[in-house]
Structure 1
Amino acid sequence: DTKGGILLLWDDSVVTVTNVQIGVYFFSATVAINNYGDDKTFKLTTVYGPTRSINKDAFYLELTSEKPPPGTKWLVNGDFNQIYRARDKNRANVVRSRLVRFRNALNTCELKEIHMQNRKFTWSNEQSNPTMSKLDSFFCNEDWDIEFATHILHALSSSLSDHCPLLLANDVGPKKPKSFRFENYWTKMPGFQCVVSEAWTEISCHVEPYQRLFHKLKRTGQKLRSWSKTLFSNSKVQLHMALEVILRLDLAQEQRELSLEERDL
């Protein structure tokens, strides 16, 4: 498969990732939540399932081979490119023998699904009368489920892909990152060049070149952040409004065919 893959990213200040293993269709690692000891350590397996039918059984076999020893907390997620229930597709043309084989693999692994709170499907072929399936999922074993009992899974807006992103978090939600984020559209807005020029040419008390560069970049970022809040206070609100509209259309599409105006929107 050349249209997808697996990318695992993490924050070193929050978790420690070790024992990385890579297979044909999976990526596994041991994840330890910092400052919580062994009780908050679990195995994470991320998969990208094959699209070709001839490779499905090899994928199921590889998945079952990753089952950890008893007592190990295990979380499995990714694009499985396969459903295990007929209701996870909005069409009747499902290959039931593959459903059974996938379900048997999940049972062998002793995995149960973490159900989404707000959607039935995660993928659409984006046609006027679309085919939709639940190809992306999170599964866990009983040990993981008991340890992280407050988890909740939501689908986000499918604004950038034919798949919708899935967010698994505890019931209080993820922490908001505080790092500086540069917005590409800033360069096209009036006043950008002036803000950068004034911030960059301010007199610095540092002598070492790397310190001067660091503080120039930091000061420029601070000035841009203040400038953007002043001039574009509504931009984030507008972005989230647009994402909310897309999500609501995603949900509506699961119940009925969208109108031409809705698809254009």
Structure 2
Amino acid sequence: MNATGRSGGLLKLWDNRLFSSNEVISSHNFLINIGTWNGIQEKVVFANIYGPQSVTEKAALWEKLKGIKQEKGGLWITLGDFNVVWGLEERFNSIFCSRSARDFNCFIHEAGLIDVKMGGHKFTYFRNVEVKMSKLDRFLVCQNFLDLIPNVTITALPKEISDHCPILLTSSWCDFGPPLFKFFNSWMLREDFECVFIASWNTFRGFGIPDLYLLAKLKWVKEGLKKWRATTFPKEEADLMNLKDVVHKLDIEVESRMLSDEEIEIRCRGYKEIIEKEKIVVLDLRQKSRIKWAVEGDKNTRFFHGYVNKNNQKNRINSLLLNGEWCTDPLIIKTVTTQNFHLYEQYLFNRSQFSFSDFQTFLNKFVYIRVYVSGDIRRVDAPGFVKLEHSKFYNVIVQSPE
């Protein structure tokens, strides 16, 4: 698209070996290519945007884009200079228009787009004369795109001649090592968990001041649970796949002949076991997604997967600016981040004392705190919170000889 004076002008380049454009929709403010991307079955839409200056023209552009998205469907990747911000914090020493921001936020929500977290520079537009800065350039993608390619990173690169920063979208998997240990409440529903927990808790032997002793004991229990998880979970996944295979074969058989009473019993029992095992999977997804208002029995796993991916994108550190250069090496990022937290490390003689005689009183207060923080005083057994005094492990902890 040609420029008008110093404004506008849209240019799009792509590799024909990776993307094939089958349809083009263009106007003065956007250039949309609809086509196929190698390795992706659904059609992909790249929408290059240049937002107008007028508030009314922006609102009309958002409505037009929503109509095109609804009509064409597909995986949407929207990018460009939108000439608007969604919040006051995205402007510095610049005029903020609340109406434009409200219209833009409504467009993002109604179009089902997601503003992926951007690394690099906080602002993408710099006006050197009056030191004005704004975040006008961004990528907006649909949820289906993130479900398909969850490891998406966006970085605002340093600007050179232009007053806008180039923004780069990449998809790469960075190996930061094994994931950190996380306890899932669904583990307590498994029959062998009780034996593993009690054995690990009672077999610990140690010494030291109370806080370090408790820390060492919890680490000992954690190692026992990690070994149990490493051996039990693969077996459970294999059992679930075998159950599905058996039920699927019987479903095929019933189309051509009558099943025997024994086969009908196997099929019914298999369905029940599959449902019970899938419930545990849903519980884990709900806890990963950290949605406090999740309703018990909700089996919308795709919904939970979306929130898990969104949390991962928000919390992941894709790169760090070190000595004026962007570093993406996972090992260096881990080392520098760890060194930063060591600045707040307390030495042994400065540590807060953790000493009390009545461990049971502490546990009761701990339960009260957890329930209070959950924001649901009416339900002590709300999802994600265990009422410890009703737990079968409570007596094991309280009656521990230490």
Within 5 Å, which residues of 2 pair with 1:139-218? 139-171=140-172
User: Equivalents in 2 of 1:144, 1:158: separation in Å?
Assistant: 28
Q: Tell me which amino acid in the other structure corresponds to 2:102.
A: V
Alignment check: 8 A CA contact 1:158 1:246 kept: no
**Offset of residue 70 of structure 1:** 9.1
Question: Deviation digits for residues 44-92 of structure 1, max 9, x if unmatched?
Answer: 1111111233422222222222224697211111110111111111136
User: Equivalents in 2 of 1:89, 1:9: separation in Å?
Assistant: 30
- Select the residue among 23, 26, 34 that pairs with 1:22: 26
Within 5 Å, which residues of 2 pair with 1:25-64? 25-34=29-38, 36=39, 38-39=41-42, 41-64=43-66
Instruction: Give the aligned partner of residue 84 of structure 2.
Output: 82
TM-score normalised per structure 1: 0.60
User: Equivalents in 1 of 2:114, 2:88: separation in Å?
Assistant: 17
Residues 93 and 71 of structure 1: is their aligned pair in 2 closer, same or farther, counting only changes over 3 Å? closer
Q: Tell me which amino acid in the other structure corresponds to 1:30.
A: I
Alignment check: 8 A CA contact 1:82 1:135 kept: yes
Range with greater deviation from structure 2 (77-86 or 164-173): 164-173
Alignment check: 8 A CA contact 2:94 2:132 kept: no
Q: Tell me which amino acid in the other structure corresponds to 1:84.
A: W
User: Equivalents in 1 of 2:63, 2:37: separation in Å?
Assistant: 29
User: Equivalents in 1 of 2:18, 2:81: separation in Å?
Assistant: 25
User: Equivalents in 1 of 2:110, 2:29: separation in Å?
Assistant: 18
The alignment status of 1:9 with 2:17, answered yes or no, reads no
Question: Deviation digits for residues 205-250 of structure 1, max 9, x if unmatched?
Answer: xxxxxxxxxxxxxxxxxxxxxxxxxxxxxxxxxxxxxxx8599xxx
Q: Tell me which amino acid in the other structure corresponds to 1:7.
A: L
**Offset of residue 24 of structure 1:** 3.4
User: Equivalents in 1 of 2:141, 2:31: separation in Å?
Assistant: 16
Within 5 Å, which residues of 2 pair with 1:103-118? 103-118=105-120
Question: Deviation digits for residues 85-118 of structure 1, max 9, x if unmatched?
Answer: 1111113631111111111111110111022112
Q: Quote the RMSD (CA, aligned, Å).
A: 2.4
Instruction: Give the aligned partner of residue 96 of structure 2.
Output: 94
- Select the residue among 97, 119, 122 that pairs with 2:121: 119
Please give the secondary structure, in 2, of the residue aligned with 1:160.
coil
Question: Deviation digits for residues 131-165 of structure 1, max 9, x if unmatched?
Answer: 10000010011101111111111111201200000
Whichever structure has more helix as a proportion of its residues is 2
* Greater relative CO, 1 or 2 (CA 8 Å, sep 6+): 1
Greater radius of gyration (CA): 2
User: Equivalents in 1 of 2:112, 2:160: separation in Å?
Assistant: 34
**Offset of residue 23 of structure 1:** 2.6
Q: Tell me which amino acid in the other structure corresponds to 2:46.
A: L
Q: Tell me which amino acid in the other structure corresponds to 2:89.
A: R
User: Equivalents in 2 of 1:172, 1:9: separation in Å?
Assistant: 25
Q: Aligned residues, how many? A: 174
Residues 77 and 171 of structure 1: is their aligned pair in 2 closer, same or farther, counting only changes over 3 Å? same
Q: Tell me which amino acid in the other structure corresponds to 2:84.
A: Q
**Offset of residue 37 of structure 1:** 5.1
- Aligned-residue sequence identity (percent) comes to 25
Instruction: Give the aligned partner of residue 139 of structure 2.
Output: 138
Residues 70 and 142 of structure 1: is their aligned pair in 2 closer, same or farther, counting only changes over 3 Å? farther
Q: Tell me which amino acid in the other structure corresponds to 2:133.
A: M
Residues 114 and 18 of structure 1: is their aligned pair in 2 closer, same or farther, counting only changes over 3 Å? same
Can you give the 5+ residue segments of structure 1 that lack an aligned partner in the other structure? Answer: 174-243, 248-265
Please give the secondary structure, in 2, of the residue aligned with 1:64.
helix
Q: Tell me which amino acid in the other structure corresponds to 2:128.
A: E
Can you give the 5+ residue segments of structure 2 that lack an aligned partner in the other structure? Answer: 175-322, 327-402
TM-score normalised per structure 2: 0.40
